[in-house]
A and B are shown apart, each in its own frame.
Chain A
């Protein structure tokens, strides 16, 4: 741990002090938590009326269908943005200047726009169904970000690899497909997965254009008067599932990153965490 350079190895006195701080902090955190739980009970969030609906088959099916729709949108968006990212990255690496310019313009524009604006544009202005509108918006945005990831990945493969391939008489397509891209892809895998986490999180934007996804199903249940408006129970059931799915995917990215750090196959690539300056937040990990 590099951060231990920030303080000395604690002696007996410091240990005692840290223990006191620790106990105090834990007490405060637990106190806040207890207060929250008290609030839950105080506002009658644990009554049978509010939790019973989740034992009904119909409600469970509604939730599962919502989850299925979320995953469907994610699957479409993931595949299409990978494809779009590939196309745009190829265009940006092209030798023809107009193609390069056009691709750069598209990538920069779509990365600068809020995804939601694109989704609403497709949904409202082009009068498209919710699912295609959501998938289009997500694809344009994530595709552009992935294009940058691919491009920096290819460019970060050690120069000697490219030079060696050219000196063997390969032409550009061969150099790309046989030498650069395979190495770059391996190195960029964690970043790509992290970007997919963003896509998964953003499928929840479908809620705002009335796509019948997970949150939408939750909202339907939550606004039911017969069950006493079980809003908090719905949030308590939906969030762990949503957050859990994203965490699993994030963890996969993390795992890929750890694995490749040991792999000799990615040695020739400077595994640059996708540039924070050009990507969005938390680049290297993933971002909002």
Chain B
């Protein structure tokens, strides 16, 4: 039971690592996912292909394989970055494919009339998408994006096994210090619950504030 009180700083550091990883990777995933979703509906063929391939490949890549390739592979090309940055890259790119799909299906929930009306006012593709369709799509996209980000937080556990400081990694030190393994895991589980429940609370608020049922 005293595993937590004795190792407050260890758990704190782990939790902070998980939160940092989640926040940075979320930002990357949201931006990339958004860009890829725009590509997928763009009038330019090669961009559409790029978006489609990006989503198809990344959604079917095991995250461990991606971590393996990015964290151990990129250094072979002389790209040497801190491990945490590599982890953010891998997690962000992986999740962006799911964000892209969520945004795209969000775009599909916007009634066709909206796009047609925008066009008949003489708006360009960028204007139609940016000023009319996406703001409306955003509202219906909140719940799926929320669950994608929760999954991202859970997936960040994989980074711990590739020597990035995060919550799950704390068990190794505790194990060596001879603490009860079961209890150390209980507190790790609590830590993850805190992170995932916080995200879902935030998205509940967003949903209440902006969400609409279509």
Contact = CB atoms under 8 A, between A and B. Distances in A.
Given A112-B196, A276-B102, A43 B151 contact: no
B80 interface: no
B64 A114 contact: no
B157 A117 contact: yes
Interface stretch (A78-86, A182-190, A240-248): A240-248
Interface stretch (A60-68, A151-159, A200-208, A262-270): A200-208
Q: What band does the interface of chain A fall in when counting residues whose beta carbon is under 8 Å from B?
A: 35 or more
B188 interface: yes
A167 interface: no
A208 B154 contact: no
B62 A201 contact: yes
Interface string A264-288: 0000000000001111111111111
Contact of A124 (B45, B129, B175): B175
Contacts of A284: 105
A205 B76 CA distance: 23
A202 to B, nearest CB: 7
Contact of A22 (B45, B64, B76, B189): B45
A284 B57 CA distance: 18
A112 B193 contact: yes
Contacts of A39: 77
A43 B78 CA distance: 9
A239 interface: yes
Nearest to A30: B46
B47 interface: yes
A120 B166 CA distance: 14
Contacts of B69: 235, 239
A121 B94 contact: no
Interface string B39-50: 001011111001
Interface residues of B, number: 69
A121 B129 CA distance: 47
B80 to A, nearest CB: 13
Contact of B192 (A6, A22, A114, A247): A114
Given A116-B157, A283-B144, A288-B155, A3 B41 contact: yes
B138 interface: no
Contact of B50 (A2, A29, A201, A202): A29
B171 interface: yes
Contacts of A204: 62-65
Nearest to A247: B60
A277 B143 contact: yes
A8 interface: yes
B52 interface: no
Nearest to A245: B60
B139 interface: no
Contacts of B196: 112
Closest 10 CB pairs of A and B: A5-B115, A281-B148, A246-B60, A204-B62, A276-B144, A114-B154, A204-B64, A281-B98, A114-B157, A201-B62
Interface of B: 41, 43-47, 50, 56-57, 59-65, 68-69, 72-73, 76-78, 94-95, 98-99, 101-102, 105, 107-108, 112, 114-116, 119, 124-125, 128-129, 133, 143-144, 146-148, 150-152, 154-158, 160-161, 168, 171, 175, 181-182, 185, 188-189, 192-193, 196-197
Given A7-B119, A7-B125, 13 more contacts: A5-B116, A10-B43, A25-B50, A112-B196, A114-B154, A116-B168, A201-B60, A215-B64, A281-B148, A283-B147, A288-B95, A288-B98, A288-B155
Interface of A: 2-3, 5-8, 10, 14, 18, 21-22, 25-26, 29, 39, 43, 45, 112-117, 120-121, 124-125, 197, 200-205, 207-208, 215, 218-219, 222, 231-232, 235, 238-239, 242-243, 246-247, 250, 276-288
